Structure 1
Amino acid sequence: MKKIKLILAVITISLASCSDYLDVVPDNVATIEYAFRSRNEAEKYLFSCYSYRPEIGSVDLDPAMASDETFKRYGINGAGQVWQNTLIARGFQSLTSPILNTWDGENGSESAWRGIRECNIFLENIDLVPDLTETEKKRWIGEVKFLKAYYHFYLLKCYGPIPIVDENLPIYSKPQEVQIYREPVDEVFAYIVALLTESIEYLPNAVEVIEGTEAGRIDKLIALGVKAKVLTFAASPLFNGNTAYASMVDNKGVQLFPQQYDESKWLLAAEACKEAIDECHAQGKSLYDLVDPLVLDADPVFKLQTTYRQAITHRWNQELIWGNTRYNNNFLARSTTARIIRMENVNNAMTEYAPTLQFVEKYYSDNGVPIDEDIMWRSESWYQDRYKVRAEPAQEDEGKRIEEGKYTVNLHFNREPRFYASIGFDKGIYYGSGYYQFNDSQRNVKYADFLKGGVSGFQGGSGYSISGYSVKKLHSFKNAQTSTSISTEYFPFPILRLADLYLLYAETLNETSGPSDEVYHYIDLVRSRAGLTGVKESWSNYSINPNKPNTKEGLRAIIHQERAIELAFEGKRFWDIRRWKEIGVMNNQPKGWNVQGQTPEEFYKITLLPQIPVSFTIKDYFWPIKESNLAVNPNLIQNYGW
């Protein structure tokens, strides 16, 4: 494994973080020696290493927030307000000026290479600090080694094979010394895993991180969880025997993608997942199952829905392993919230982060199986007629999910609890947001109305959902709306939570040895929290394909759909469909309802959302390296297809 060095230069440090503890903006430093002359100055440099973290959870700047799950109304490149990540989702990635360019730090992204450079400077100089205890020094070293590994991993996800930057080069290096090569992906993965393993030795347990002053800093559980995820990526089809990228060979003749599939990589990933899960359990982590005091007396339907939402929005809860503090929580809430009362300014709750019709269909039936497999959905023609307005309005026993006496499409009836907890839809109940009474004597809950002119729908101006849906899941049910504003509860965005690890473990076990009781167990833990019966029971009783969970291929499809549903809108699917080599799903043109319709008959017409059809090919698994970089360094071969 060749370890590349970067040029060491005089730097200016800046920091942008939403965490109080990490929001320390150090003064400019003239020399490296000055930066490490005392503990306080060195701590500022530690924070600078954190400052290059990707803005995971940023609805406009995190590429993973723009998968096939959602679509934003600004459809033409350059027309109106443009979210950078939606340009990637529309297939507008650029060779000359790449969008969210993590390599160079342009067009909405920090440079991960600069972050790695800062980490190297820190590790090379931390021994110079005279007043730092050995315990604290080890912890800081562990944090920075983790960050260095994570920045390499993020670049690997974006670009595939990358250089390995283990040390910085002195400023007097010769030009040929800095004309670096991209390393084979297996070597990059091995380097990242080794660095993470080193960091784990020095990091504190999660319970030792002080929430009030240190929340957001790296601990042992984070490192173990990310290591499991890294090894899962290494085992996945995009990186494991990817013959589609056989032509990725550099000018030395080095093959950058392994051409032979290696099943043992799945076993390594499974072992890492289990190690992380066991340590999470040992340190008190569990699936979130608390009932908020506000809903202690509420109907069980609302308790289940709010508990699921709180797994995301209850800050630093027992399920969260790693939460991102570097994103705009208020903007996320405004972009996902449906208006449930009349507002003077519709942009206070924009609803522009809009789920697509195709993704809404991914949620299971109330029997816990896909709606196209559900026996009753087939026999009653609910699936065949899913886009039709039901002839009967919502009945009294359906009123906890859909407004009684109102009409909506068959697609919105008889769905699983996570559908009602996650998706705002026309005539659907919007429990919370200051309205909690739902009993025989009093009902003050609100409902969404996405028809044109409706309280949640198009009213002129820019604040509206292009699909006729909203994402309830990504804002707290305790946020409140008034005619002039919405109040939002802050929460760290979940980079990694325990349900994600459970499903990764199930996936890696299934790929290693096929269906087993242990695979079912970890899937069923997630399903049980969502109010569903186990996989085998659900498919046996309710699916037209009852043997699906009994084969590796069938269970793989179930796990993929379970991840899509459980982790919806959390930025996981973007990377999942890439590592699974399933980017073709992005070519299923995003659809929604006709939000200009003023009646149910007009509104419930399927409408194509893009003004220009989206198109993805094999090249779109990775970002291009900026064209000008290749002119400077011809050793950096371009990614396939660019």
Structure 2
Amino acid sequence: MKKYLLSILCGILLLPGCNYLDMVPEKDIETIESLFEQRTKVENWWKGLYSELNRIFADFRVNTAYLGADEFVTCQALYNSTLYNLDGLKIADGLQMSQNPYGSIWYRMYVVIRNCNIFLENVDHTYNMSEEDRNWWKADVKAVKAYVYFELVRRYGPICLIPQNMPVDLPVKDYQLPRQHVDTCFKEIINLLDESMEYVPKHSQRISNYGHTFSLEAVYALKAKVLLYAASPLFNGNAFYSDFKNKDGELLFNSTYDRNKWLLAAEAADKAAEMCEEGGRALISGTTVKKTDLLNKMSDIETMTFSRFTNSEYLLEWKYPSTFHQFFLPRLVGDDDNFDSQALGCLSPSMKMVEMYYTSNGLPIDADITWSYNNRYKLGSESSPVYEGVIPMNTDVVNLHLRREPRFYASIAGDRMYWQRGTNTADKDYNLLVRAHKGEEPWGTQYDFIVSNSWQNINGYWLKKHLFSWYNTLGYSNNLQGNETAAIIRLAEVYLMQAEAWNEYLDQPDSRVYDPLDKVRERAGILPVREAWGNYSNNPTKVTTKVGMRDIIHQEYGIEFAFEGHRYWDLRRWLTAHQTMNEKQYGWNVIGTTDQAFYNYETGPVVVWSSNKFIAPRDYLDPFDAEEILISGMVQNPGWGGR
């Protein structure tokens, strides 16, 4: 009976790595020892660690952070699809549960942790390996383990730490490890990263075959990110969890706010930025071949999202699935030159995100005195050559689409906006004008109502970000090589971490806040933050205060990292998710056949989704599977007791 219970425990909770590597006769344990004698097999083991991380964190279908916030809306057909299983959408609607939770990584990550430990415990016995490589690989695996711990902590809060693997012949009670105080968890992550820094090479010192591994710049950036989370309101003085305890009564959160945590994060972010700049890492910029400055800047922003382990601002990158594009490419039925049967075109950027992008002056649309916020849903037109090839000239266009920043035009496609959907030829112009009214083939819906059984765009917007304009819509996947990557950490995040951490630590913002923020804004093609707010805003002093800059920095995160899986975490660590995640989702009346009908007679968008739900404090931390709680003896996260 003991062995049976032990097998259950290993398989379900803390020792999910109790697979063939541990559940074997004694004589076969030597297989691991012999495996780690050979460099080639050891390297395959090392690569296997990344393979599992790649499958979880770079796949937007599996990593629920991509779809679990308020950045997307979709039709019922995709929402309910059992073929695609986009579970993040269910989390956004408050449907998370403790019985078989959506997006659970607990089991799989402890497999990785166990395999990291096996590597670290055995790699010293590999005989045909230089000490330089041995030290590097060990350091890298420590960074991997730190990353896994971090992903667990930001999902579950306090976790169980496994410094080394446990023998399989212990009494069952010895496997029932308690959760550690969240500060202890953060300290262990930082210790692992500090230990790895001595031997992890800089990006420039690695050969291309190892582009998926940690560079030294990535280790420093991850350290800054971990410390930023430790300083953020979710983990720093959170009153929600002031009474959250282990079963033995030990508190798991510190309810007292510690300002000095922001200083540690700020200094770590400064060091990460220094390491990146020394290593030649840089934001993508400088395109000059397009017809206008705006098109050049849009090209910079688009190119920023493209990498095959070749992007100068990607500090840590892993391959994403080759099917990513099909959810966002427009479904241009009836257009023989541009229709691709794989394209669904029904996972759309939300109206909230459309309105989040700045004006051309680099300000929120409700803060720019040169931009008419009250008339944003009315029709206007554009005549400036600045917007040639982006907005049709002297044509009725909703004001919401006019005089916006380059990131808006590089990321969002909407009615009466151009979208470059292929490389132009002598006889074919692929800069397509989106015409989204009902009956306007191929963009507009052909249905008379919102349907539940077809791939229908329900709000009149398409996502351009992550799609590459030089590849035609028809046959798009034929251009992909299978080694395109998603950014896990990129340089712009380091700069925004600097700005945020210094702003939270200082009594009043200074150049330590403004300068790194302006690096991101400069690449985005907008004015420096003080110039924009001082000259064009309805609140010129906002930029001079800690609270004002906090709001500005938060919006900058939302724009710069839109649709990259960041907003899900940012809203949680800032403790603002319950204020923003319960709002209805809006869009245009896609069954309208005229400008007036489509734009709801210029009165504003219509509700297209009303199920978003976030319950505090429950939804700030993910639940453990109820069965795991039953077996392990761990305490469940607050709010998930009976669910």
TM over 0.5, shorter chain? yes
Give the stretch that moved more between structures: 155-164 or 311-320.
311-320
Residue 103 (str. 1) matches residue 106 (str. 2): yes
SS in 1 for 2:374: coil
Counterpart CA distance in 2 for 1:556 and 1:590 is 25
Counterpart CA distance in 1 for 2:74 and 2:559 is 20
CA displacement, residues 168-200 of structure 1 (integer Å, 9 cap, x when unaligned): 111101111001111110000000000011111
- The 5 Å alignment of 1:25-104 reads 31-53=31-53, 55-66=56-67, 67-74=69-76, 78=80, 81=83, 82-104=85-107
Choose which of 585, 594, 601 in structure 2 pairs with 1:599: 594
1:63 maps to amino acid = T
Counterpart CA distance in 2 for 1:502 and 1:192 is 22
Give the match for residue 456 of structure 1: 443
Residue 469 (str. 1) matches residue 469 (str. 2): no
Counterpart CA distance in 2 for 1:339 and 1:78 is 19
1:30–1:162 CA distance, 2 compared to 1 (3 A): same
- The 5 Å alignment of 1:175-214 reads 175-211=172-208, 213-214=209-210
Counterpart CA distance in 2 for 1:536 and 1:349 is 42
Counterpart CA distance in 1 for 2:277 and 2:627 is 49
The 8 Å contact of residues 509 and 549 in structure 2, kept in 1 or not, is answered as yes
Give the stretch that moved more between structures: 481-490 or 425-434.
481-490
SS in 2 for 1:482: coil
The 8 Å contact of residues 583 and 610 in structure 2, kept in 1 or not, is answered as no
The 8 Å contact of residues 39 and 129 in structure 1, kept in 2 or not, is answered as yes
The CA RMSD measured in Å over matched residues stands at 2.6
Q: CA deviation at 1:141?
A: 0.3
SS in 2 for 1:49: helix
The 8 Å contact of residues 289 and 529 in structure 1, kept in 2 or not, is answered as yes
CA displacement, residues 579-603 of structure 1 (integer Å, 9 cap, x when unaligned): 0001121111122222222322222
1:320–1:29 CA distance, 2 compared to 1 (3 A): farther
SS in 1 for 2:257: coil
Residue 113 (str. 1) matches residue 105 (str. 2): no
The 8 Å contact of residues 8 and 171 in structure 1, kept in 2 or not, is answered as no
CA displacement, residues 241-289 of structure 1 (integer Å, 9 cap, x when unaligned): 0111122111211111111000000000011101111010101011111
Give the percent of matched residue pairs that are identical in Structure 1 and Structure 2.
33
1:631 maps to amino acid = L
CA displacement, residues 420-462 of structure 1 (integer Å, 9 cap, x when unaligned): 111111111113522389xxx9976222222234323434674
1:616–1:73 CA distance, 2 compared to 1 (3 A): farther
SS in 2 for 1:126: helix
Give the match for residue 125 of structure 1: 122
Q: CA deviation at 1:346?
A: 5.5
Give the match for residue 539 of structure 1: 533
Residue 359 (str. 1) matches residue 353 (str. 2): yes
1:503 maps to amino acid = L
Give the stretch that moved more between structures: 235-244 or 399-408.
399-408
1:510 maps to amino acid = N
2:330 maps to amino acid = A
SS in 1 for 2:407: helix
- The 5 Å alignment of 1:186-265 reads 186-211=183-208, 213-265=209-261
CA displacement, residues 555-574 of structure 1 (integer Å, 9 cap, x when unaligned): 01000111111111111111
Counterpart CA distance in 1 for 2:473 and 2:326 is 11
Give the match for residue 518 of structure 1: 512
- The 5 Å alignment of 1:391-406 reads 392=381, 398-406=387-395
CA displacement, residues 341-385 of structure 1 (integer Å, 9 cap, x when unaligned): 8258654322233111111101111111111011122xxxx3112
The 8 Å contact of residues 37 and 128 in structure 1, kept in 2 or not, is answered as yes
Give the match for residue 20 of structure 2: 11
- The 5 Å alignment of 1:295-444 reads 296-315=289-308, 316-325=310-319, 327-328=320-321, 330-338=322-330, 342-343=335-336, 347-377=341-371, 382-390=372-380, 392=381, 398-431=387-420, 433-435=422-424
1:426–1:201 CA distance, 2 compared to 1 (3 A): same
The 8 Å contact of residues 331 and 339 in structure 2, kept in 1 or not, is answered as no
Choose which of 562, 565, 576 in structure 1 pairs with 2:559: 565
The 8 Å contact of residues 349 and 462 in structure 2, kept in 1 or not, is answered as yes
1:597 maps to amino acid = G
The 8 Å contact of residues 184 and 257 in structure 1, kept in 2 or not, is answered as yes
1:113–1:38 CA distance, 2 compared to 1 (3 A): same
1:133–1:486 CA distance, 2 compared to 1 (3 A): closer
- What is the TM-score of this pair, normalised by structure 1? 0.89
CA displacement, residues 76-125 of structure 1 (integer Å, 9 cap, x when unaligned): 97466531221111211111110011113xxxxxx111110110111111
Q: CA deviation at 1:481?
A: 2.5
SS in 2 for 1:384: helix
Choose which of 559, 571, 585 in structure 2 pairs with 1:590: 585
State the number of aligned residues.
Answer: 605
